Structure 1
Amino acid sequence: MEKVWRHEKIPESWKKGLIKLAKKGNLKECKNSRGITLLSVMGKILGRIIVDRVRNGVDSRLRKEQAGYRKSRGTTDQVFILRNIIEQVNEWQATLYLNFIDFEKAFDSIHRESLWEIMKKYGIPEKIVRMIQDKTSRMEEEAKRVGLKINLEKTEGMRINARNQEKITIGGQEVKEVDKFTYLGATVCKEGGGMKDLRNRLSKARGTFVRLKKIWSSSSISRRTKMRLYKTLVVPVMLYGCETWKMNKGDDNAVDIFQNKCLRRILHIRWQDHISTDELLERAEMKPLSEEVKRRRWKMIGHILRQDQNNDSNIAMTWAPEGKRKKRKAKNNMETYSGEGKERSRLEVMG
C-alpha cells in the first residue's frame, strides 16, 4: 500500500473484477445488463483512503440537491421532499407536473477530462487526482464518451390535478405517463402518502423472509443468530423509507402482523400454541414494528429540524402551494406530525 501511494501506480489486479448484472427488460439486449466491478480487498481499502481524504473538503462545495452518498443527506431525505410536495399539492388542490428522467449509462458517460478539472478546482491535491485517474484508467479506455443521453424507454411523467392533458414530449418523442413511479427505491404515487409504498415493502419483505426459509427451519442455527439475521436482512427491507409514510391504525396493524408471523416462524411457535402478542415479542426480545416506524419518523423530524432553515427538507415540511384547501378532516401527513410535536421532537430526538 505504501509503495502504491508513493509511486501513484495501482496494480491491475486491484482494478479487475467485472460482473454482469441483469436489469429489467429483454436480457438478450446488452443495454438491459449492467456491469459492476467487485474490487479486491486492497483496492477497496485504497478507495476508502482516497474518499476519506477528499470528503471533508469537497462536501461543503457540493450542491444541496446531491444526496444519497453524503453524511446527513440520505435518499430518505429526497423521498420525503417529493412525497411531502405531492401531499401538499393534493391538500391545496394545486397542479404539479413531474418528470422522472433516466440517463443512459450515466456513470460511464461522464467526460473524464472535465471531471479532473472540477476536482482540481475543488482544491483536491493533484496526487489524489492522479491516483483516481489511474484507478479508473481501464474503465476510461473501454467506455465510449457519448455524453449524457436521456433514455426515453425508462423516462416517465406524472401529472397531478392538471387540467392540461397535452402529451409531454422530449425531442419530439412522447413520454410515458404513469400513476406511480419507483423513486430511489420508494414507490411514489399521485396520492403521496406512501400507502402503495408500504404495500410494496410488505411484499418485498415477505419475499426476502421466504427466501431465507432454510435458515429459519434449521436446527443447527441458534435463535440468537436467526434474530440477528432477521433484523439485518428482513427489517431493513420492510422499513426502507418508512419515515415518509402516512399511516393509520390499519397500517400499523399490517406491519405488526407481518412481524408477528415472522417471529412465530423463527421461534417455531405453532398457531395452535396460543400465546399473546406481548409474550411473543418478549420471547423474541423485540418491540412492535409499528413503534419502530414511529421512532424513525420522530428521528427524521429531529434530523430535519437540526438542519439549516434553507435546507430543502425543512422548506418542504412547511411548504404550502397556492390554492384552495380541501374542506375535510386533515390527514396525518408529516406536517401534522411536526406541527403537533415539534417540542417533543426537539426534546426526545435532538439529544
Structure 2
Amino acid sequence: MTVAQHQHRPLLTIAEHDIEHVENFTNLGSNISNTGDLEKDEQTRIGQAAGVFKRLRNIWSSKSITTATKLRLYMSLVIPTATYACETWTKTASITNELDVLHRRCLRSILKSPLSDIVSDRRKIMTGHVLRLPTERDRQVWQ
C-alpha cells in the first residue's frame, strides 16, 4: 500500500495512540483478516493441531500407553486445537479435505495401521467366509 492510499484510510485513535492498519493479525490464537477471509485462520488451526500432534510423538509411539489412552489424549488435545472457533469457518472443499487428511494421518499414527492393511485384512476375512460356504449355497447364489 502506498503512502497516499494509507492517508485516505480513517485512523483509529485510542487514548491518543494511533492504531496501525494491518491486513491481518492474531487474536486469541485466531487469524483475523481485514477482508473477513477465514481460510488463513482455518489453515493456521490445522497447522497448530499438527504441531501439537508432533510434539506428542513420544506418547503415540509409547508401548506402555494403551491405545484407548492415546485416543483420549488425541481427542482432548489435538482435536480441540484443530477445531477452535470452527463455528465461524466457511465450509469449503479445500478445508474439509485438509481436516480429514490431518485426522486420518493422526489416527494412522496412533493405531499403527495403514488403511491399506485394514483393507487387506478385511479382504482376507471375506475370502475365508466365501471359502467356508457350502457348495450348494454357491449354486443358489448364481442361479
Q: Could you tell me the TM-score, scaled by structure 1's length?
A: 0.30
2:12 maps to: 168
2:101 maps to: 257
- One-letter code aligned to 1:192: G
2:29 pairs, out of 182, 185, 191, with 185
1:156 maps to: none
Whether 1:198 aligns to 2:42 is: yes
CA deviations on 1:22-75 (whole Å, 9 max, x unpaired) are xxxxxxxxxxxxxxxxxxxxxxxxxxxxxxxxxxxxxxxxxxxxxxxxxxxxxx
Q: Which has the larger radius of gyration?
A: 2
Conserved 8 A contact 1:215-1:226: yes
Q: Which whole-Å CA distance do the structure 2 matches of 1:180 and 1:198 have between them?
A: 14
User: RMSD across aligned C-alpha pairs, in angstroms?
Assistant: 2.5
Displacement of 1:250 = 1.6
Displacement of 1:219 = 0.7
1:208 maps to: 52
- One-letter code aligned to 1:237: T
Q: Describe the SS at the equivalent of 2:32.
A: strand
- One-letter code aligned to 1:263: L
1:9 maps to: none
The structure with more helix, counted as a fraction of residues:
2
1:224 maps to: 68
Structure 1 runs (4+) greater than 6 angstroms displaced = none
Conserved 8 A contact 2:43-2:95: no
Q: Which whole-Å CA distance do the structure 1 matches of 2:107 and 2:9 have between them?
A: 49
Conserved 8 A contact 1:205-1:238: yes
Q: Describe the SS at the equivalent of 1:177.
A: coil
- One-letter code aligned to 1:218: S
Q: Which whole-Å CA distance do the structure 1 matches of 2:95 and 2:118 have between them?
A: 23
Displacement of 1:172 = 4.6
Conserved 8 A contact 1:195-1:247: no
Q: Which 5+ residue runs of structure 1 have no aligned equivalent? A: 1-161, 280-351
Q: Does the C-alpha gap of structure 1 residues 210 and 274 become closer, same or farther in structure 2, counting only changes over 3 Å?
A: same
Displacement of 1:164 = 3.5
Q: Which whole-Å CA distance do the structure 2 matches of 1:198 and 1:250 have between them?
A: 10
Q: Which whole-Å CA distance do the structure 2 matches of 1:263 and 1:172 have between them?
A: 52
Give the number of equivalent residue pairs: 115
1:248 maps to: 92
State the percentage of identical aligned residues.
37
Displacement of 1:187 = 1.7
Q: Describe the SS at the equivalent of 2:31.
A: strand
